[in-house]
Amino acid sequence: MGARKESFTITDNRTGKSWELPVLKGTMGPDVVDVRKFYADTGCFTYDPSFTSTAACESSITFIDGDAGLLLYRGYPIEQLAEQSDFMDVCYLLLYGELPTPVQKLKFEDDIMHHTMMHEKLRRFYDGFQMNAHPMAIMCGIVGALGAFYHDRIDITDPTYRMIASYRVLSKMPTIAAAAYKYSVGQPFIYPRNDLSYSANFLHMLFATPCEDYEVNPVLERAMDLILILHADHEQNASTSTVRMAGSTGTNPFAAVAAGIAALWGPAHGGANEAVLRMLDEIGTKDRIPEFIKRAKDPDDPFRLMGFGHRVYKNYDPRARIMQRTCNEVLDALNAKDEPLLELAMELEKIALEDEYFVKRKLYPNVDFYSGIIFRAMKIPVSMFTVMFAVARSIGWVAQWNEMITDPGMRIARPRQLFTGPLKRDFVPLDRRR
């Protein structure tokens, strides 16, 4: 008797018919039931509108265990990468699957830094925006427009072109993001500097002016690098799934990433870091915390505690722990450790984590809860917070896009539906409508 086939048996009680559905096993995490033939065999669709129980792809990039509060990039724990690695190391790891050797890392950094300039004509696109345009709207537009500058040379079936396009996204995101900020404050755009690290160059483009030398504070450089590492990738989250969905049509990677930026913007996703700061500003003082906790628990009040809860983490988001520690370090280094917002956030977290409503629903602080306080301390405006997230996540998006394109089983993503609309009916001419 061979090994028992791992499968689910499903029976349609209306007909008594049964089917065997194979179980597929990964290296870690839940097994999956393969329903690819389910509709062809049974004539029924499976139904999972928010994908709470659906694995949409096979991936070897990032693993999350929500109950254990575990996050691994290509097998390496986020805590070790945060402590011992840097963002370029992590970008290479996510893209190629292994940590770079010293020679590989030097070449990778040099390649990335030599793609950081944007086309001079692209700089003029900014003038089409109102000065007070939300920087995420600008990011959607400018990154999408990259497709107009490289579209004719993108052959996504050619791995060389895919890598060049991936490098261009990773390289140009900070330049495009910093320009969005400079445009909003009416200052000249600062050209990238190849002699600086990726993170130092990003800070330099954000805060330098042509009027005087600008020295990047090494504490802020390290904090930026750490924040980029923590936000780099996160399995099949909404924006990454958007990039995969768009990429599955064969569109160019710039258009797919622009779609991911649009999805990240939402306050339920990457937009939460901006929403956390606005929420803390609205709460203002510790004595008003109970009022907002009450609102967050009220099913009739759409208000939610921003920066709290997660679809996957039913334990503390490991990134939030590191972010809280970084918050203290940055505020210490900037002699701003008595930042009232941090005290307010920590008091809010303490009260929420002792409240039955949050405990029962396993709602913990997520990556967005503390990041905004660090960005505020770094003098980054609130409207730029989600842009920071988008810059960091660009490596995750292109790594997942490459994995999807090279998946031999890749086909256009085309979900179906449960239709509850009107039955077939005949058209009623205008003169007979009452």
Of 225, 234, 310, 317, the catalytic one is 310
Q: How far is the CB of 321 from ligand SDX (least distance, A)?
A: 14
Q: Which stretch binds ligand SDX (CB under 6 A): 107-115, 139-147, 215-223, 361-369?
A: 361-369
- To the query of whether residue 152 is one of the catalytic residues in this protein, the response is no
Q: How far is the CB of 386 from ligand SDX (least distance, A)?
A: 10
CB nearer ligand SDX, residue 23 or residue 28: 28
Of 368, 407, 426, 431, the catalytic one is 368
Q: Which stretch binds ligand SDX (CB under 6 A): 32-40, 53-61, 263-271, 330-338?
A: 263-271
- To the query of whether residue 310 is one of the catalytic residues in this protein, the response is yes
**Three-class SS of the chain:** CCCCCCEEEEEECCCCEEEEEEEECCCCCCCEECCCCHHHHHCCCCCCCCCCCCCCCCCCCEEEECCCCEEEECCEEHHHHHHHCCHHHHHHHHHHCCCCCHHHHHHHHHHHHCCCCCCHHHHHHHHHCCCCCCHHHHHHHHHHHHHHHHHHHCCCCCHHHHHHHHHHHHHHHHHHHHHHHHHHCCCCCCCCCCCCCHHHHHHHHHHCECCECCCCCHHHHHHHHHHHHHCCCCCCCHHHHHHHHHHCCCCCHHHHHHHHHHHHCCCCCCCHHHHHHHHHHHHCCHHHHHHHHHHHHCCCCCCCCCCECCCCCCCCCHHHHHHHHHHHHHHHHCCCCCCHHHHHHHHHHHHHHCCHHHHHCCCCECCHHHHHHHHHHCCCCHHHHHHHHHHHHHHHHHHHHHHHHCCCCCCCCCCCCCCCCCCCCCCCCHHHCC
Residue closest to ligand SDX when measured from CB atoms: 309
- Residue whose tokens read 């003169």: 431
With CB under 6 A as the contact rule, the residue among 309, 323, 330, 364 that binds ligand SDX is: 309
With CB under 6 A as the contact rule, the residue among 145, 146, 305, 320 that binds ligand SDX is: 305
Q: Decide: is 237 part of the binding site for ligand SDX (CB under 6 A).
A: yes
Q: Decide: is 306 part of the binding site for ligand SDX (CB under 6 A).
A: yes
Strand 32-33 vs strand 70-73: parallel, antiparallel, or unpaired? unpaired
With CB under 6 A as the contact rule, the residue among 105, 119, 304, 337 that binds ligand SDX is: 304
CB nearer ligand SDX, residue 23 or residue 268: 268
CB nearer ligand SDX, residue 261 or residue 272: 272
CB nearer ligand SDX, residue 192 or residue 270: 270
* CA 5/CA 302 separation, integer angstroms: 47
With CB under 6 A as the contact rule, the residue among 24, 68, 106, 268 that binds ligand SDX is: 268
With CB under 6 A as the contact rule, the residue among 311, 325, 350, 379 that binds ligand SDX is: 311
Q: How far is the CB of 348 from ligand SDX (least distance, A)?
A: 11
Q: How far is the CB of 224 from ligand SDX (least distance, A)?
A: 17
CB nearer ligand SDX, residue 206 or residue 348: 348
Q: Which two structure tokens, joined as six digits, stand for 31?
A: 């097994």
Q: How far is the CB of 62 from ligand SDX (least distance, A)?
A: 9
CB nearer ligand SDX, residue 175 or residue 242: 242
Contact between 275 and 306 under an 8 Å Cβ cutoff? The reply is yes
Contact between 369 and 218 under an 8 Å Cβ cutoff? The reply is no
Q: Decide: is 234 part of the binding site for ligand SDX (CB under 6 A).
A: yes
- Considering only residues 281 through 300, tell me which ones interact with ligand SDX, judged by CB under 6 A: 296, 299
CB nearer ligand SDX, residue 198 or residue 364: 364
Q: How far is the CB of 154 from ligand SDX (least distance, A)?
A: 26
Q: Decide: is 308 part of the binding site for ligand SDX (CB under 6 A).
A: yes
Q: How far is the CB of 370 from ligand SDX (least distance, A)?
A: 12
* CA 73/CA 418 separation, integer angstroms: 36
Q: Decide: is 310 part of the binding site for ligand SDX (CB under 6 A).
A: yes
Q: Which stretch binds ligand SDX (CB under 6 A): 95-103, 265-273, 330-338, 375-383?
A: 265-273
Q: Decide: is 368 part of the binding site for ligand SDX (CB under 6 A).
A: yes
What does each C-alpha distance from 372 to 327, 351, 385 come to in angstroms?
9, 20, 7
How many residues of this chain bind ligand SDX (CB under 6 A)? 22
Q: How far is the CB of 196 from ligand SDX (least distance, A)?
A: 27
* CA 10/CA 96 separation, integer angstroms: 39
Residue 323, phi-psi category: left (phi > 0), alpha (psi -120 to 50), beta (remainder) = alpha
**Catalytic residue numbers?**
310, 368
Residues that bind ligand SDX (CB under 6 A): 234, 237, 268-270, 272, 296, 299, 304-312, 361, 363, 366-368
